[in-house]
Copies of this chain bind each other. A is one copy, B any other.
Amino acid sequence: MVQSPQGEAFRVPCPSGATRLFAVIGHPVAQVQAPALMNRLFVDRMVDAVLVPIEVAPADFPVMIEGLKRIANLDGILVTVPYKFVACDHADHLDEAARLAGSANALRREADGSWTADNFDGVGFVQGLVGAGHDPREKVVSLVGAGGAGTSIAPALLACGARLLVLSDVSAERAMQLAGRLEVEWPRRVRVASAPAAAESDILINATPVGLRAEDPLPFGLDGVRADAVVADIIMKPAETRLLKAALARGLRVHPGIHMLSEQIELYRRFFRIP
């Protein structure tokens, strides 16, 4: 539940039989913040719709999403970890950002019943960075994680003017594949490494799910990171991850995950054609 500034639970109109549906799918899903933000949007805009969370195991995902797509009053789907890649397989059309990332975080039903996928993680994340005063233009950025979110954030950083992107992932192959796609559009501005370029980087970003659980290790070490660097996380819950805590303890500036989502709400609104 969302607490209002007054400390009371935020409330929404009771759904009726005529209410339109939106869903956010994840595994796990308990940590997602999209229900709070999107339902607030529906209330503010007086739209009779509700967004609900869907938890589904990987083996059940294909049958589940094909079932979901048949619901006539379901207008849109948000997708989070670990389903952003496979979501593309269930879309009929991919918009530019989803095509470049090879992953999607939003699917929209079209008037003809087909489904269009897009990925707003990258644009949302970069807008959040810029808004917080951490413009990546001309900067060296280390991005850890070439998964569902990282594949979207990487092209958005380059499109925004980052001078050099240092990519790493537990799967070197996955990092190489993404670098290969980016090299076509932005030659000589991407490097694959086994770890962030600590001494060079102006901005270091965790785009992995490592940190969602209290017992997770740090997604990357902070030794050698410059004192003027910014450490960013895409994890929203906890708001202050172990990584951000460690960065703060070293006196570094930090950028929490919620910005990526809060910047996306307006992008989702336009994508889903919410008035």
Chain A contact residues, CB within 8 Å of chain B: 1-2, 9-19, 21, 24, 26, 29-36, 39-40, 48, 50-57, 60-61, 63-68, 70-74
Contacts and interface: CB of A to CB of B under 8 A. Distances in A.
Contacts of A70: 56-57, 60-61, 63-64, 67
B21 A54 contact: yes
A17 B1 contact: no
Given A21-B52, A63-B70, 12 more contacts: A1-B13, A2-B14, A2-B16, A15-B50, A15-B52, A17-B33, A19-B53, A56-B70, A61-B70, A63-B67, A64-B68, A68-B68
Contact of A51 (B13, B15, B55, B65): B15
Nearest to A28: B17
Contacts of A17: 24, 26, 29-35, 53
B50 A50 contact: yes
Instruction: Give the interface centre of A34, A48, A64 by most chain B CB atoms within 10 Å.
Output: A64
Contacts of A35: 14-17, 19
B9 A14 contact: yes
Contacts of A72: 55-57, 60
9 contacts: A1-B14, A1-B48, A14-B39, A15-B51, A16-B35, A19-B35, A57-B70, A60-B72, A63-B66
Contacts of A40: 14
